[in-house]
Structure 1
C-alpha cells in the first residue's frame, strides 16, 4: 500500500486543492501573508499523513496523524478569519468548514483504528 491510497490523504489533498482555488480570488491577493498561511496549513494536512505513513511504524504514524489533525484545525480557524475579513462568501465558508470538520473526524477515526490494530507497521515486518 502507498500513502496515496489512504482515504484521509485523498480528502486532505482535495481540501488543499479547494483552498488553493479559493485563495486565487482578488480578496486574498491583498493579503499575501494570510493567503500563504492558509495554503500552508491545508497542505500540511496531507503532507503529515504522507510523512507519518512513510516512517513505517504505527506509533510515528499516529503522531503525524495528530499533527495533521492539528493542521486541519488551523485551516478551519483560518477559514473563520477569511470569512470575517470578507475574503469568502457564506456558501464558501460553510462548505469549507463542513469539509474541515468531516476530515478532522475521519483522521480521529483513523487514529483510533490504527491504535487498536495489532499491526505495528512496515518497519517491524521481517523480510
Structure 2
C-alpha cells in the first residue's frame, strides 16, 4: 500500500486544495501564507510518516500532521472572525480538519505496538 491510497491523505489533500483556491485572492499575505502552510503540512507529514521505516518515525510525523490540523482549525476560526473566510465554508473546513485529526489518531494507534 502507498500513502496515496490512504483516505486520510486524500481528504487532507482535498482540504488543502480548497483552502488554496478559496484564499488565492486574499491580500493579507501573512495570514494567507500561514493558513496555507498549515493546510499543506497535513498531507505532507502523512506522506513523510508513511514513507518512514519504523513505527516510531512514522507516528512522529502523524503527530505533526495532527498538530497541523489543530493549527489549521485555529486559523480558520480566526479567518471567520476577521471576515476572510465565509462562516459556512469555514465551519465545513473545521469539521473536515476534525475528521482528519480523528483518522490520524486511528493511524497512530495502528502503528503503536
- Band of TM-score, shorter chain: over 0.9
The 2-side partners of 1:100 and 1:52 are apart by: 18
CA RMSD of aligned residues (A): 1.1
Q: TM-score, normalised by structure 2?
A: 0.94
Q: Could you say which residue in structure 2 is the equivalent of 1:37?
A: 34
**Which structure 1 segments of 5+ residues have no match?**
117-127
**Residue matched to 1:88:** 85
2:14 alignment counterpart: 14
- Once residues 98 and 53 of structure 1 are traced to their aligned partners in structure 2, the CA distance between those partners, rounded to angstroms, is 24
TM value normalised by structure 1: 0.84
Inter-partner Cα distance in structure 2 for 1:40 and 1:78: 11
Deviations 1:81-108 (A, max 9, x none): 1001101122112111111111111111
| 2:112 paired with 1:111 | no
Q: Which has the larger radius of gyration?
A: 1
Q: Which runs of 5+ in 2 are unaligned?
A: none
TM-fit CA distance, 1:65: 0.2
Shift of residue 6 of structure 1?
1.4
- How far is 1:112 from its partner? 1.0
Cα distance in 2, alignment partners of residues 43 and 110 from structure 1: 19
SS at match of 2:112: helix
State the 4+ residue runs in structure 1 displaced beyond 6 angstroms: none
Rounded to whole Å, the distance in 2 between the matches of 1:12 and 1:89 is 20
- Corresponding position of 2:76: 79
- Total equivalences in the alignment: 113
